[in-house]
Amino acid sequence: MLIMGPPGCGKGTQAERLSRRLGITGVSTGEVFRDHVKNQTPLGREVTGHLDAGDLVPDTLTNRVVRERLNQSDVKAGFLLDGYPRNTAQLAELDVILAASGQELDVALQLRVDDDELVRRLLHRATMTGRSDDTEDVIRHRLELYQQETAPVASAYLQRGILLSVDGLGSEDDIFGRLLAALRESFPEAMPDATTPG
Ligand code: AMP
């Protein structure tokens, strides 16, 4: 499965909680890139400018990272992708990667939050984490990119009938509860007891 939503919608936090709760491996492309930047690897040096500008990392690099990650053994029993695919070319690549390993997506979760609330949250996050891409100009740019590049990905999954869209306003616990409830409704047998947040 995967989780998507505009920058600042809380998908990183929710992805971590969900993968813990469901016992599946979380794969965040943003985290992978930030780790490479921190460790000053060759890939880190290549992507740092894109991250700082709030631009998408080129598809060739991103797809390679995802392909290698999804070939590792800990994702065979399931995975939760966070932040990928970000455009329709990546969506097509993910189809190819999954088909090659005989897997398919069960569900694409989407968190919905309006832009003003996102800017407010991201500016707040900037004061807490010092992320280099959390300044107002870069935030607005990332939101625009989301609308242009990533919203069509949600539309595609909606057409495939696998999009589960959830209101992303409210406390972390509220949102987590909504995600679990949506999953439980669609996959009643597959879900562990999901009535309490955790
Ligand atoms: P995130 O943590 O998902 O907000 O990602 C942080 C940054 O990493 C993004 O603004 C992009 O620069 C880069 N990034 C993460 N995922 C992708 C992706 N699927 N395609 C291109 N760039 C990405």
Sheet holding 2-4, edge to edge: 25-28, 79-82, 2-4, 108-112, 163-167
Name the residue among 7, 28, 10 with its Cα closest to residue 19. Answer: 28
What pTM was computed for the model? 0.90
CA distances (Å), origin 6, targets 11, 86, 136: 8, 10, 15
Q: What is the mean pLDDT of residues 9-16?
A: 94
Q: What are the pocket residues of ligand 1 if the criterion is a CB atom closer than 6 Å to any ligand atom?
A: 7, 12, 29-30, 33, 50-51, 54-57, 62, 83-84, 86, 90, 133, 142
Give yes or no for residue 192 having a pLDDT over 70: no
The pLDDT assigned to 126 comes to 78
Whether residue 125 lies in the annotated active site? yes
Higher pLDDT pick, 188 / 91: 91
Whats the size of the chain, residue-wise? 198
- Tell me the pLDDT tens digit for each residue of 37-80: 999 999 999 999 999 998 999 999 999 999 999 999 999 889 99
Give phi and psi for 145, each to the nearest 5. -60, -40
- Choose the residue to mutate in 14, 81, 86, 121 for probing ligand 1, maximizing ligand atoms within 8 Å of C-beta: 86
The pLDDT assigned to 122 comes to 83
Give yes or no for residue 148 having a pLDDT over 70: yes
Whether residue 121 lies in the annotated active site? no
The pLDDT assigned to 139 comes to 86
Helices 42-53 and 136-145 sit at what angle, rounded to 10 degrees? 100
Whether residue 11 lies in the annotated active site? yes
- Tell me the pLDDT tens digit for each residue of 158-178: 999 999 999 999 999 999 999
The pLDDT assigned to 197 comes to 52
- Tell me the pLDDT tens digit for each residue of 92-144: 999 999 999 899 999 999 999 988 888 888 888 878 877 778 788 888 899 99
